[in-house]
Amino acid sequence: MSKILVIYGILWLYLSSCITLVQIPLIEPPEISLPPGDQKIVFVSRFDTTQLSFSKGKVSEIYRESYVSFLKGLEAGFKTKKQLSLVLSDTIVAGRWFTVDTPDFNDADHIPFLISKFEPDYLLTLDAFHLEIQQDQQVKDFGDGGVTRFTEYYLVGSAALALFNDAARVVDKMLMSDEALGNESQAVPLSYDLGYNYALMYDEIRYTEDRYMYSGKVFQDAIESARNGKWEDAKQQLLPYTQDPKEKYAKQAASNMGVVEEALGNQNAAMIWYNKAGSYMINDLYPQ
């Protein structure tokens, strides 16, 4: 065994005995953010199906069933929200069939009219709902000179939605799309998912990530608090060591404080502590 490998092994054993892995809770903000408190959202459809794109025989039925499925998914998604109530109006505004990303409505007149009619906190409009079948040519090579060509069909669904506040100002515009392997038989479940997934955009996402912390004897209490999710306790237990006269302990404590501040949702404070830790920042030694 080479001297380099021996030294590396000793270094690894030393470092692994001084660090521990913890999981920190993180929150990703919602894609569509509304003020706290109860909010009434009224839904209005602003499209009709005067121009359609499938084979003519089934197309009207497919669009009708898919549209109903989209509304069911939308309603089911919003039912999971405690402070958001969705009202599905029976108003369907006559208009053209739009397939472009940003349908052009005269919102200056139309949105104030709808707001005065329904008196919502927010008005949600469906401005386009589109389904189409795409195909992809595939070639499979068996390696013995034999080749098979086949076609895969995809159903692609899209919906353009706009959200307005009670002052008729745009809060968000969203073009959603999804696809499923198969033909028009996938239209109903695909449409339901589109509606449900739109409602999910009002949710924050909670998840965990791994972080390394120094686990020397002086940090044992803080590590135990961190493992139990008592991040404020860990912060108070670590704070004195960030002023330790021994630079090693001070920088290791600063690195640990960065992890704690991340767990508490204080990203700016976390970066300040990580910068103070400098070369002792563990996540530089062990990138995620």
Count other C-beta atoms under 10 Å from residue 181's C-beta: 10
Residue 93: the pLDDT is: 52
pLDDT of 271 over the 50 cut: yes
Q: What is the pTM of this model?
A: 0.68
Mean pLDDT of the chain: 81
Q: What are phi and psi of 179, to 5 degrees?
A: -140, 155
Residue 115: the pLDDT is: 93
Q: Which residues, other chains included, contact 247 with Cβ-Cβ below 8 Å and sequence gap of 6+?
A: none
Higher pLDDT, 134 or 268: 268
Higher pLDDT, 54 or 14: 54
Q: Which range, of 21-25, 107-111, 140-144, averages the lowest pLDDT?
A: 140-144
pLDDT of 234 over the 80 cut: yes
Residue 219: the pLDDT is: 92
Beta strands 39-45 and 122-141, pairing class: parallel
What residue type is assigned to position 269 of the chain?
A
Q: What are the CA-CA distances from residue 266 to residues 131, 171, 234 (Å)?
A: 43, 27, 14
CB 46 within 8 Å of CB 93: yes
Residue 63: the pLDDT is: 79
Tens-place pLDDT, residues 65-110: 888 899 999 999 999 999 999 999 865 554 444 444 445 566 778 8
Q: Give the whole-number percent of the chain exceeding pLDDT 90.
A: 41
Q: What are phi and psi of 9, to 5 degrees?
A: -65, -40
d(CA 153, CA 131): 13
Tens-place pLDDT, residues 168-210: 999 999 889 998 888 778 889 999 999 999 999 999 888 999 9
How sure is the predictor about 48, in pLDDT bands with cuts at 50, 70 and 90?
low
How sure is the predictor about 143, in pLDDT bands with cuts at 50, 70 and 90?
low
Residue 232: the pLDDT is: 96
pLDDT of 56 over the 80 cut: no
Residue 133: the pLDDT is: 77
Backbone dihedral region of 37: left (phi > 0), alpha (psi from -120 to 50 degrees) or beta?
left
Mean pLDDT of 23-39: 91
Tokens of 6: 């021996």
How sure is the predictor about 128, in pLDDT bands with cuts at 50, 70 and 90?
confident
